[in-house]
Amino acid sequence: MDPTGQPPDVARAPRPYHHGDLATTLLDAGEAELVDKGIEGFSLRGVAKRAGVSHAAPAHHFGDVDGLLTALATRGFERFLARQEEFRRQARREPRAQLEASGVGYVAFAMENPALFRLMFGSRRPDFASPGLGLAAQAAFDDLARHVADVTGNANPPSKDRAALHDVAATWALAHGLADLLAAGRLPSLGGLPPRARNRAIVGILGRAVRSP
Q: Which residues bind DNA (CB under 7 A)?
A: 16-20, 22, 42-46, 53-57, 59-61, 64-66
Beta carbon of residue 39, minimum distance to a second copy (angstroms, whole number): 6
Distance CA 111, CA 100 (A): 17
Cα–Cα distance measured from residue 136 to residue 5, given in angstroms and rounded to the nearest whole number: 42
From DNA, a second copy, none, interface partner of 57 (C-beta below 5 to 8 A by class): DNA
Choose among DNA, a second copy, none what residue 103 binds, the Cβ cut-off being 5 to 8 Å by kind.
Answer: none
Sorted by sequence, the CB contacts under 8 Å of residue 59 that are 6+ apart come out as: none
Report, in Å, the least distance between residue 47 CB and a second copy: 15
CB of 70 to DNA, least distance (A): 12
CB of 101 closer than 8 Å to CB of 84: yes
Which of DNA, a second copy, none interacts with 59 (beta carbon under 5 to 8 A by kind)? DNA
CB of 45 to DNA, least distance (A): 4
Given the rule CB under 8 A, which residues bind a second copy? 38-40, 118, 121-125, 141, 158-159, 162, 165-166, 169-170, 172-178, 180-181, 184, 186-187, 189-190, 201, 204-205, 208-210
Start-to-end C-alpha separation, the chain: 59
Which of DNA, a second copy, none lies near 158, with the C-beta cut-off 5 to 8 A by kind? a second copy
- Are 55 and 48 spatial neighbours (Cβ–Cβ below 8 Å)? yes
186 Cβ contact partners less than 8 Å away, ≥ 6 residues apart: none
Tell me if 168 sits within 8 A of 145, measured CB to CB: yes
